[in-house]
Amino acid sequence: MANTFLLYGATGYVGEAMARACVRRGMAPILAGRNAPALSALSRELGLRHRVCALDDARAVDAMLTDVSAVLHCAGPFLFTSQPMVDACLRTGVHYLDITGEFPVFEATAAREMEARQRGVMLMPAVGFDVVPTDCLAVYLKQRLPSATHLMMAFQSVGPSGLPPGTQRTVIELLRFGNRVRVDGRFVPATSAMKTRLVDFGAGPVEVSQLTWGDVFTAYYSTGIPNIEEYTVLPSAARQSLAVMQMLRPVLALRWVRALLRRGVKPGPSPSRRAQTVTHVWGEVTDGAGGQVAARLHGPEAGVDWTVACALAVVERVMQGEVQPGYQTPAAVYGADLVMACAGVTREDL
């Protein structure tokens, strides 16, 4: 199989940043997506090949995957775009990677574990900030406390950078599913819609709010820890808005309501604003015998810069033949130190 990969969604906000980073690293993906004029201009500028294809034509998608060994899928919301690409990868024997953080996508992809193994295809969603840094920290903590039965994780963004447009749209799509936690191995609704606690990311304790981050689903596969909760720092206004949205969940099932909310999606942050932003990740594991281990990661802006670094670190390993067929999580295949391959990332034990 050809030793190249397809970057789908290359003209999106994160996709374009991914394409430019590829060129800086000496990588030469085939750029792909639906926007022919934008793809043509970007591929010409970067000196890369491109292919134009929408995901609603299975034959065209299969043809698009000709002569590639992997796809890095960057066009969300993945609730709507992942299945046709996964289908095509399984039909054509191409390894599947994406940058989603959407747990329904994880559930759907994990359900195809046996099919992927039979076809020799690796299905690895979430190779961006969600979930590589947190997944790596979870595995690291499990290695330090093998008896761990409970995992709590949290993250904080400090700086002027906001969320990428795709992430904003994803949040809107996920609100209708409510908050989830892992309890005794089961992926279940949280008993409290807005649970909070204090976490020290390195500058003193701050309040964090519970949310459904990818690790609530994936860390169970990476570590086997049966009880998992995740938190993040939210401004008071955002916390109040989410509380209202939780009460309006039945209304959010209506497409026109979500479409109305999408009108409020803001442009992505500039490179300079991202450069002024840092991200902190905290994790703690405990067991039933009083054992407790905690650690922190510190890295760049999460939505683009850390996501791009993580995704391309995984792609490089896939291109080197380091793959395991079936549904996989990043740290389970590549280890706890995968995140340390990203520039500017540090880890500290607490």
pLDDT range class, residue 258, cuts 50, 70, 90:
confident
Distance CA 47, CA 39 (A): 11
Least trusted range by pLDDT, from 55-59, 135-139, 267-271? 267-271
How far is 78 from 100, CA to CA, in rounded Å? Answer: 6
Q: Which residue has the tokens 């976490």?
A: 199
pLDDT at 54 over 80: yes
**Integer Cα distance of 28 and 234 in angstroms:** 38
Span between the terminal Cα atoms of the chain, in Å:
45
What pLDDT is recorded for position 69?
97
Can the peptide bond before residue 146 be classed as cis, meaning omega within 30 degrees of 0? no
Q: Find residue 158's DSSP bridge partners.
A: 278
Average pLDDT over residues 125-139: 96
Cis preceding linkage at 181, omega within 30: no
Evaluate the omega torsion of the peptide bond into residue 127 and state whether it is cis, within 30 degrees of 0: no
Kindly state the DSSP code that residue 306 receives in the 8-state scheme. I
Q: What is the pLDDT of residue 128?
A: 96
The model's pLDDT over 259-310, given as tens digits with 9 standing for 90+, comes to 777 787 788 788 899 899 999 999 999 998 999 999 999 999 999 999 999 9
**Per-residue confidence (pLDDT) for residue 170, from 0 to 100:** 72
State how far the alpha carbon of 97 is from the alpha carbons of 86, 100, 188, in Å. 9, 9, 26
Buried/exposed 273-289: b ≥16 CB within 10 Å, e otherwise: ebeebbbbbbbbbbeee
Q: Is residue 80 predicted with pLDDT exceeding 80?
A: yes
Q: What is the pLDDT of residue 251?
A: 74
99 has pLDDT over 90 = yes
Q: What value does the mean pLDDT take over residues 22-31?
A: 96
pLDDT at res. 82? 97
Task: Note the pLDDT of residue 262.
Answer: 76
What pLDDT shows up at residue 246?
67
Cα–Cα distances (Å) from 324 to 124, 204, 318, 329, in that order, read 10, 41, 9, 10
Contacts 24+ apart (CB under 8 A), 249-255: 249/175, 249/176, 249/178, 252/175, 252/176, 253/176
62-76, 188-202, 335-349: segment of lowest average pLDDT? 188-202
Rounded CA gap, 120 and 91, in Å? 11
C-alpha 304, offset from chain centre: 11
Mean pLDDT of 154-165: 86
The residue with greater pLDDT, 112 or 236, is: 112
**Residue 201 pLDDT grade (very low, low, confident, very high; cuts 50, 70, 90):** very high
- pLDDT of residue 1 exceeding 60, the answer is no
Half-sphere exposure of 124 (CA within 13 A, CB side): 32
Q: What is the mean pLDDT of the chain?
A: 91
Domain boundaries, the chain: 5-126+305-333, 132-303
**Token couple for 291:** 């054992």
Top CATH class of 5-126+305-333 equals alpha beta
pLDDT band for 243, please (50, 70, 90 cuts).
low
Which option is the CATH number for 132-303: 3.30.360.10, 3.40.50.1480, 3.80.10.10, 3.90.1150.10?
3.30.360.10
Report pTM.
Answer: 0.92
Helices and strands, counts by H and E, the chain: 15, 16
Higher pLDDT, 314 or 179: 314
Contact 173, 81 (CB under 8 A): no
Which of 230-234, 242-246, 298-302 has the lowest average pLDDT? Answer: 242-246
Q: How far apart are CA 164 and CA 161, in angstroms?
A: 9
Q: Which residues lie across from 6 on neighbouring strands?
A: 30, 71
What's residue 2's pLDDT?
64
